Structure 1
Amino acid sequence: MYLLTLVLGLGLLLWGMKELRQGLQSFAGLYLRQLLLWMTATPIRGFWAGGICTAFLQSSTALTVMAVSFVDAELLPFENALALILGSNIGSTLTTQLLALPLEQITPYLLALGALGYLFIPKRIRYLFLAVFGLSLLFFALSMLQSGMAPLADKPSIQQFLQQLGNNHLKGVLAGTLLSALLHSSSATTGIVMLLTENGQITLPTALAFIFGANIGTCFTAVLAALVSSRAAQRVAVFHVLLNVFGVLLFLPFVGPMAQGLSLIGGSLSRQVANAHTLFNILSSLLAFPLLPKATQFLKRILH
């Protein structure tokens, strides 16, 4: 059942990507390209746009997959998308939504609107409805992946494995990466770790290592989408992975002192885990921001 849900979810995700890309290419023309270019005209503007859009969508995965789509459709140069990715990591840490959007409740209506509009509305505007259909299909697929695979987290075998990690931080990173990739949600993984930490089943330093790994695992969906995309779009997905690996390499040696600092700040153990997640993403993005020009050159060199 879990395998069937995974296969269906991934298939719908790729289909949504294809329809979104085709609709944007056919409808957008100059205007959407100008808007996207304006949003990312400077790295600072792209950085803020990424953070706000992710807080709005409540999904850094969705924004990253959309950025891959835009670059693949040649609506956005890959260099401009990198700052969006940096901002999306920060936006994903916000616990309060800037604008409450009941995406799960409105997605079926958006799917119907997009399909009917594409079938019955003539001329170029029909491609806008095709893009709406593709985008809503993308959200439906992400929701399906998360809800369908989340029950795995309740399995005693998985929880027992987490408890056996002890204080091996590298194992914690690897386990967090694998589970987050499996669940297609770093948020679901973070929730599990917060519960286990609060119950005293894993230590705070191990929990932090697990959270670091979860940030790498959440890149899996965008990487998968990029496999069927252009070389420029693949650079965006690779940058997303490198950003989170950079953060892990930066923070992993300081897991112990970081855990002590979070304990001094106070709050419940689950709150300390949540604070660690926020701190990791904000500092990783801010420290990586000055390296964007170097990252652009590096990605062009390895994926030419």
Structure 2
Amino acid sequence: MYLFTLVLGLVLLLGGMHLLRQGLQTFAGHGLRQALLWMTETPWKGFWSGSISTALLQSSTALTVMAVSFVDAQLLPFENALALVLGSNIGSTLTTQLLAFPLDQITPYIMILGALGYLFLPNRGRFLSLSILGLGILFFSLTLLQAGMAPLADLPSIQHFLRQLGDNHLQGVVAGTILSALLHSSSATTGIVMLLAEDGWLTLPTALAFIFGANIGTCFTAVLAALASSRAAQRVALFHVLLNVLGVLVFLPFVGPLANGLTLMGGSLSRQVANAHTLFNLISSLLAFPLLPWATRVLKKMLP
């Protein structure tokens, strides 16, 4: 029974994220594409438009794939798309911050509100309601996942795996990368890791290693989209991978101090994991922004 609950929770987690993203994308409509083209005229504009657009779309993967498509169609210079990717990493942290709120009590009302709005509101209002329904399903899925995971803690194989994992941060990065690549979402992976940390399955430092890996795994979809694309589009996908891999290499030696700092900041373990996800993406993107001209030259040499 717990296995069914676990699988159902995972399906609803992915389904809720899809509804949230689909509703917001449809609500924004064609105007979002036009705005992106205008707002990437300079790297600085691209940086902020990437942050805002990803916060609206609730998917850095969707925006990165869109950027790859724009570059492949020669609608957008690949140099400007790099700033868009940096911004998208920051915007993607909004979902995990929302998931850290304890909204169990009002989740049914969010779902009912979204469903009624989708059925009865006209035009674009119904698509906004669809995203609200998706958000409610997201919160409900976390409740199911938590219920499904609880009995697993008593299984010897699970206990052995967690003991073996311990505080091996490199293994945590690899596990987070694989899970995020399979789910095609760093936000979904972060949501699961938040539950594991909250229930005591993972220590905070190991949870942070999972989060770092999730940022690498989320590049997988954009890489696939770029395989049959132009060289310029492939550079965008490669930049996304290098950004997150180098970010992990910078952060990984400081997992312990970062975990201590997050503990001092307070909040639940879920909130601390969400804050780590935000800090990782915010700091790595801000550090990389001044290096964009250099990155452009290097990528042209790597993929001429």
TM-score of the aligned structures, taking structure 1 as reference length: 0.69
**Aligned position for 1:79:** 79
1:60 corresponds to 2:60: yes
1:38 shift after superposition: 3.0
Match of 1:198 in 2: 198
Cα distance in 1 for partners of 2:163, 2:193 equals: 10
Match of 2:223 in 1: 223
Decide whether aligned partners of structure 1 residues 34 and 190 sit closer, same or farther in structure 2, where only a CA change above 3 A counts: closer
Q: Is 2:232 the counterpart of 1:250?
A: no
Cα deviation, residue 37, structure 1: 4.8
Say how many residue pairs are matched. 234
Equivalent position of 1:166 in the other structure: 166
Specify the SS of the correspondent of 1:74: coil
Contact 1:37 1:80 in 2 (8 A): no
Kept in 1, the 8 Å contact 2:36–2:49? The answer is no
Contact 1:163 1:202 in 2 (8 A): no
Name the CA distance, whole Å, in 1 between partners of 2:163 and 2:191.
15
Deviation digits for residues 114-147 of structure 1, max 9, x if unmatched? xxxxxxxxxxxxxxxxxxxxxxxxxxxxxxxxx9
Q: What is the aligned-residue identity percentage?
A: 78
In 2, Cα distance between equivalents of 1:285 and 1:166: 29
Q: Quick one: which amino acid aligns to residue 276 of structure 1?
A: A
Query: How many Å apart are 1:33 and its aligned residue?
Result: 9.8
Q: Structure 2: any 5+ residue segments left out of the alignment? A: 1-6, 8-29, 100-113, 116-140
Query: TM-score, normalised on structure 2?
Result: 0.69
- Separation in 2, partners of 1:162, 1:64: 34
Contact 1:65–1:225 (Cα < 8 Å) also in 2: yes
| Structure 1 residues not aligned, in runs of 5+ | 3-27, 98-103, 106-146
Q: Kindly provide the CA deviation profile for residues 206-240 of structure 1, in whole angstroms up to 9, marking residues without a partner as x.
A: 00011000000000000011111111100000000
Correspondence for 2:131: none
Q: How does 1:16-95 map to 2 (within 5 A)?
A: 36-94=36-94, 95=97
- Residues 91 and 34 of structure 1, relative CA distance in 2, 3 Å threshold: closer
> What is the Cα deviation at residue 201 of structure 1?
1.2
2:282 aligns to what? 282
Amino acid at match of 1:292: L
Cα distance in structure 1, aligned partners of 2:291 and 2:59: 24
SS in 2 for 1:241: helix
Report matched runs for 1:66-215 at 5 Å. Answer: 66-94=66-94, 95=97, 161=161, 164-215=164-215
Query: How many angstroms apart in 1 are the aligned matches of 2:34 and 2:188?
Result: 36
Once superposed, which parts of structure 1, at least 4 consecutive aligned residues long, lie more than 2 Å away? 32-38, 154-164
Aligned-partner SS, 1:229: coil
Structure 1 CA distance for aligned equivalents of residues 247 and 207 of structure 2: 16
Over residues 278-300 of structure 1, what are the superposed CA-to-partner deviations in whole Å (9 max), with x where a residue is unaligned?
Answer: 00000010001011011100100
Taking only aligned residues, the RMSD between alpha carbons, in angstroms, comes to: 3.4
